[in-house]
Amino acid sequence: MICASANERFIQADVVCFFAQKTVEPDAVTTMSPAGCPHVNGFKVDNWKQNLRAIYQCFVWSGSAETRKRKAKSCICHMCGAHLNRLHSCLYCVFFACFAKKHIHEHAKSKRHNLAIDLLYGGIYCFMCQDYIYDKDMEQIAKEEQRKAWKISLLSLPLLSTHALCLCVLFCLSLTFCVSFSLLCSGLRGLINLGNTCFMNCIVQALTHTPLLRDFFLSDRHKCEMQSNSCLVCEMSQLFQEFYSGHRSPHVPFRLLHLVWTHARHLAGYEQQDAHEFLIAALDVLHRHYDNGKKANNPNHCNCIIDQIFTGGLQSDVTCQVCHGVSTTIDPFWDISLDLPGSSTPFWPLSPGGDGSALNGESHTTGATTLTDCLRRFTRPEHLGSSAKIKCSGCHSYQESTKQLTMKKLPIVACFHLKRFEHSAKLRQKITTYVSFPLELDMTPFMASSKESRMNGQYQQTVDPFNNDNKYSLFAVVNHQGTLESGHYTTFIRQHKDQWFKCDDAIITKASIKDVLDSEGYLLFYHKQFLEYE
């Protein structure tokens, strides 16, 4: 630990007066709080509210010039002397330390002081949970002190003449307009991890940056008819308002998490969950809660915003090997799950001009795997075999057959799920095979109308460069780092003019196109380049 100067010791002594007369010792009792973190109650002893308010007033929001000066002088790491590196303050004693260099972690471990506050954003970090946490009481104090700081900042402005004040206001309005549209109101906002909830945060980032979904919710077009306050569509509408409000501090999605737990019980709890599973569950609940979708008599022809954007039609053709009769069914889908090389399911990339060896079971693994390879495999004819005979309506008997999937109707937003998690009786593994994916994708070769170009598993290039009906642009990529048992989800999202950002819970950083395309990829979100209006 560095030796503090006389001036620094005076400042630290001044800081102590804002706290209770004695330091707070963590309670050994670990009963579960309403927030889900069992360690918050150890901090909630005598004078805890006054102590927390003092920290927010002096070191987080800092509304007056005096508190800003105090923060600038006193907020240094007590171990290395740095002013940056995401300083955190211990909630149990007067101690500031770096988060990036783990100095605050060392203090927490040695003193058994489990809670600290981020001095930039005001988030509460629990070292036992190893994550930022949410507590209703603490959040209320944070909001109250933030409002007070804004009022103090406005009152501390120098007195101006009417003309000067008008010029100042006009300048601020023009500056706010420029900043809001270039950065603040662009939807770039972090999300606090409430305890293994990165699986939810990454999907929320993808959904809030879906252009048509954003336009729908920001135009306030949802008219709720539910009697209770458990409508997920209403919560998503509020979430979009929060994201595009211009606020830069990370949002705490505790209400969204509560509603998801309420309506999708299999996702309840603080265990690690699957982002793909959350996406499907969220779309399902939104579909059911939307008023038009709720009233639709035919679930395959729903006109709710979710189905308008995400629903496509998958055509399945089963062909009898004797009479060559074809039985066709069309099913709705919200995503397309694609097998990968390295799984227990045989995989072979089919190149243009292939010899159709996919049908005889030969496996080809040479060369890089692309998203197009996965789609070719998904739409190739598959021989069902003698153990899966289907009764042919033409032959009136059970016959061997082939099955082929193609796209009958494409959604506005196409989500591709790369099946990286394999669960079977004999094997549980994460497949880390790199799959390259393009910024622009043409789905024409995989349409039902293009089926004749892929007879017997062969693939022929039939893309019309002037046909834009089935062309897509990449706008979000969800990645998973780690193993099957433990890992972390992040999201790349695209802004206007092909600017990409990485969303890692509360942290938003600039990313390059190379960063995006070099990533492993788990969920790929593509948006249609051209829309047809009915």
CB 260 within 8 A of CB 200: yes
Distance CA 91, CA 77 (A): 15
* Local structure of residue 79 (DSSP, 8 states): T
Closest CA to 61 of 189, 131, 153: 153
User: CA quadruple 227, 229, 232, 235: dihedral positive or negative?
Assistant: positive
CB 203 within 8 A of CB 277: no
Residue type at 176 in one-letter notation: T
Which of 105, 364, 383, 488 does the annotation list as catalytic?
488
198 catalytic per annotation: yes
Residue type at 318 in one-letter notation: V
Two tokens, residue 406: 């193609």
Distance CA 505, CA 490 (A): 7
CB 186 within 8 A of CB 245: no
CB 191 within 8 A of CB 506: yes
Two tokens, residue 215: 């336009």
- 442: which strand partners? 471
Output phi, psi for 259, to 5 deg.
-70, -35
Which of 37, 75, 90, 198 does the annotation list as catalytic?
198
- 415: which strand partners? 525
Task: Write out the H or E segment, with its range, that includes residue 396.
Answer: none
Residue tagged 């060369």 (tokens): 367
Maximum CA extent, the chain = 97
Distance CA 260, CA 230 (A): 10
Distance CA 350, CA 266 (A): 38
3-state SS of 463-508 is: CCCCCCCCEEEEEEEEEEEECCCCEEEEEEEECHHHCEEEEECCEE
The DSSP annotation for 83-149 comes to S-S-EEEESSSS-EEESTTSHHHHHHHHHT--EEEETTT--EEETTTTEEE--HHHHHHHHHHHHHH
Residue positions annotated with a catalytic role: 198, 488
